[in-house]
Amino acid sequence: MHDDLGVEVRLAAPPRRVVSLVPSLTEAVAVSAPELLVAATDYCTHPAGLDVPRVGGTKYPSVDRVLAAVPDLVLANAEENRREDVEALRAAGVAVWVTYPRTLDAAFASLQRMLARLAVAPPAWLADATTAWAGPPPQAPRRAVVPVWRRPWVLLGPGTFAGDVLRRLGVENVYDDAAERYPRPGLDEILARRPELVVLPDEPYAFTVDDGPEAFPGLPCALVSGRHLTWYGPSLVEARTLLERQLR
């Protein structure tokens, strides 16, 4: 069976010890087959009360701590985790499954493949999430900019999962034509694009009512849940309803 990067992940038997380096995948495994999860990152905050050993951050996990958990399989993401850590784990003889969905449909397919690799039956939440996102987007899209960081400003560009989520909610990314997936324009350039809306998630940068909107005077700003915008897993069941309310 192949992961999202086309790498064949061979296992002698269905995995019984899984380490997740991706918060959304941690939640997916913990909700679907909690007995498999033996370690996760410090940023794996869901489900609430998750009680497993921690291996550090997503960008800089401790490879030694991952190996100490004696995993059959490690879950990673091409964007959230560093290639050198994935390669170090594979060099140590550990199988690594890497995800890389850039659309909602790709996320649903990716989750199905990953759960099949874990020998986990399709969970109800995956069917519920697929149904929740089956409806068409609004007919009158709003042109928006989507900062994910400031000092310097970093925006969502083309080809991102979060961008596709917003598109399905009737939000057109002004920087969908950028040369980079995460462009870094100056504030004057951002305002020159004349967006109708500024979408400010609370992760990875924690935008708040007092930190972010003041940079865009006169423009409506929507403070949204970064978890529901960027995570692909059980959070997608409620994400559409929640984000639609936050984007009003």
Residues 103-126 pLDDT 10s: 999 999 999 999 999 999 999 999
Distance CA 87, CA 93 (A): 10
Give the model's confidence band at 136: pLDDT under 50 very low, under 70 low, under 90 confident, else very high: confident
CATH number of the structural domain spanning residue 154: 3.40.50.1980
The answer to the question of residue 5 being in a domain is no
23: DSSP letter: H
- Is 106 in the same domain as 186? no
Residue 185 structural domain: 142-246
Nearest Cα to 40, choosing from 15, 16, 64, 65? 65
Q: Does a structural domain hold residue 129?
A: no
Residue among 205, 153, 155, 203 at smallest CA distance from 44: 203
226-to-12, 53, 191, 201 alpha-carbon distances in Å: 37, 24, 23, 5
In this prediction, what percent of the chain has a pLDDT beyond 70? 100
> Could you give the CA distance from residue 48 to residue 188 in angstroms, rounded to a whole number?
41
Examine the domain organization and report whether 27 and 98 are in the same domain. yes
Are 76 and 153 contained in the same domain?
Answer: no
Domains contained in the chain, number: 2
Are residue 196 and residue 238 in the same domain, yes or no? Answer: yes
Structural domain contains residue 10? no
Q: Residue 56: which pLDDT band, with cuts at 50, 70 and 90?
A: very high
Last residue of a domain, one of 91, 122, 153: 122
Q: What number of other Cβ atoms are within 10 A of residue 68's Cβ?
A: 13
| Residues 116 and 153 occupy one common structural domain | no
**pLDDT at residue 198 in the model:** 98
pLDDT digits (tens, 9 = 90+) for 172-202: 999 999 999 999 999 999 999 999 999 999 9
Q: Are residues 151 and 237 in the same domain?
A: yes
